[in-house]
Every structure is written in C-alpha cells, then in structure tokens.
Amino acid sequence: MKQNLFDLNYEDLKFFLSEKIGIKEKKLNMRAQQIFTAAYQKGLNDFEKFTTIPIDLREELSKKISFNDSKIVETHESSDGTLKFLVELFDGNKVECVYIPEKTRGTVCVSSQVGCSLTCTFCRSGTQRLVKNLSASEIVSQIVLVKDKLKDWGDQKIVTNIVFMGQGEPLINMKNLKTAIQILKDKKGLNYGNKKITVSTSGIANKIPEAADEIGTYLALSLHAPNDKLREEIMPINKKFKIKDLIQQLKYYTSVVKEPIFLEYVMLKGINDTEDCAKQLVKLMAQFPSKVNLIEFNSWPGVKFKPTERKDIEKFSKYIQDKGYMSFIRRSRGDDVLAACGQLRTESQKRKKHLS
C-alpha cells in the first residue's frame, strides 16, 4: 500500500522521506518544501509534474507515495451559487462538501466523518448512522478537490475560509482532525490562518481543552438550547456532556485561544425561540466571550420541526443585542439542493471486511 501524501504533515513527510526514501538530513527540508509547494500551492497531483525535483527521485517518490485518492462524482449548483459536491472516497464511501461563495470570501464546508453518531433530532446528517472517521487525507482532499474544481491555485484565493460543519462530529475524530488542520495551516502548504478555519462541535466537552492547546482555530458550539432539559430533548449528546461542563471547557478555550466562541442556535418554532430561552441564553453568554449565530432551520423530508418566522428570529436577536451581546442572523445557503446546514447526508453502508 502506498503512503497517501495528504496524511502526512510536514514533519511526518520529512520522517517518511528520510526513513523510506533515504533522503539525507541536509536535503530533507528542501525536498519536503518542494513537495508541499507543488502539491498544496500549485495543486500538482502527479510527481512527473514536480519539475523542481530530479527525475530519478520523482520516480522513486511515485512508487511509494500516492496523491488524493478521492474524487468528485457529482456537483449540484444552488440558485444562490452554492455548490454541493459528492465526494467518493477510495473505499467507495461517499461524503458531501459544500462551497459557499460570498461577496468578500469563499467558504468550503467539509465533513469529518461518514455519517454521524449524534442523532440530533433536527439534523438530517444525524439520520445516517456513523460509518467511519475520515482519515486526514480524506479531510484534506475535500479542500484540494474543491480548489482544483475552482482553479484556485497559485495566487488565486477563491477558497478563503474553511469550516468543519459538514457531516460528522470533528472532535470525535480528533487525531485525524489535528493532522488535517496542521496541513491546512502550514505556511509551506495550504497556508490557512487560525482565523480562516472554524471547527464546529456539538459539545464533546472533554475534547475541548485538547482542541484549545493543539488546534487553536475559531471554535463554534452547536448549542441550540439554553438549558439541559431542552437540549437533551433535541441533542442526545447533552445527556453525556451538560451545559455546565461545556461552559467550563469553553472558558478554558477562550483563555488559550483568545477569541470568542460562536454559539450556533438553530431557530425551531415553538421549541427554543421563546423570550424565556433568549433570557437564559443571555445568562449563559455572560460567562465566557461569545457571539451567537441564529440559524434559520432548514427543513428536510420527514423532519418534525418548523422554522421560526423571520420576524420572531429578529425579535430574539434584538433581545440578545439589547442586553449587550453580539447576535447575528445567518442566511441559509444552498437549501434548494440540500446543501444547507444540517442537510448533508449520503447513502452508505458499512462495507464488509473482505471488501475494504
């Protein structure tokens, strides 16, 4: 089995080049840099095209290292310009990722797992059972594939932001998430800064300190309810990690990363959109630096919730602002092609051992 390049952060690549290819210490940095630049800045996906490297070494590398093993098999374009991509992985599983163009930026929303274990009741991705964690290369390749599709190599910067808000729970896939983010952040590679990446979590409290110490990007918490009773009803994960635990860990996160937490709050009619909920939310926000993003609920076939009306979302938002906290109403994008928040889902099944 060849080593997939996108599974190696810069230091891992140097180690691989030394141990498996026999490159001498004094040339290691140069070769690793040449590979990172060609793969992640120029978007080259074949060692033959790596002209800065001698031909015999290129041949050796191509025998031992493979590139992106995933491919885009379907593209759906929304009337608002949002693009949803169906990505087929090497093992046949599929995940979705989304490109969201805006006036001043372009965001890629990536998946971290095939399926999801959380079963949040309002989320369509939660109706697909967990199949597996994505490897670092399967995460990185989503961004590389979208950049390739948009011809975003060299000086172009079409994809300016990355959000881990696709299928799956990133903090349950911590090890691979960390490697993928190291590759995304590497200045010699894709070069996305801490403020260009947002990891969104449903609230895996015990992983938040590790994310603070070793990831350091923006963090979003899918809160959706301001008290345990309601949150437990709509997000089963709250049975394991209570709001009190979350607050404690988020305080730590903001003390290390020094940026506010984005609280995601999907507005469900008659469920979490009352003035009482707004009041409780404000009390919660008083405890650590945060901003709230109110999300219009995106409907999907079979779901029992209804979206809160626009005027009521505005009222809720104003309540929070009047108390001196930041509240934004997030416009839904890509809804018509089921590309919006919480709508991603792929057909999948666990592949039998002998097939994988």
Q: Which residues bind ligand SAH (CB under 6 A)?
A: 120, 122-123, 165, 169, 200-202, 222, 264, 266, 295, 297-298, 341-342
Distance CA 353, CA 335 (A): 36
E strand residue ranges, 183-306: 197-201, 218-222, 261-267, 290-296
Give whichever of 141 and 201 is closer to ligand SAH, judged by the CB atom: 201
> Least distance to ligand SAH from the beta carbon of 272, Å?
12
State both tokens at 317: 């938002």
Give whichever of 13 and 177 is closer to ligand SAH, judged by the CB atom: 177
Residue 337 amino acid letter:
V
341 part of the active site: yes
Distance CA 71, CA 141 (A): 9
> Least distance to ligand SAH from the beta carbon of 340, Å?
6
Give whichever of 32 and 295 is closer to ligand SAH, judged by the CB atom: 295
Kindly report the backbone phi and psi dihedral angles of residue 292, in degrees, each rounded to the nearest multiple of 5, phi listed first. -110, 135
Residue 31 amino acid letter:
R
Distance CA 242, CA 229 (A): 10
DSSP 239: G
Give whichever of 93 and 202 is closer to ligand SAH, judged by the CB atom: 202
Residue number with the smallest Cβ distance to ligand SAH: 342
> Least distance to ligand SAH from the beta carbon of 271, Å?
12
The residue among 92, 104, 203, 108 whose CA lies nearest residue 152 is 108
> Least distance to ligand SAH from the beta carbon of 341, Å?
3
97 part of the active site: no
Active-site residue among 96, 138, 169, 264?
96
Active-site residue among 259, 309, 341, 347?
341
**Catalytic sites, residue numbers:** 96, 341
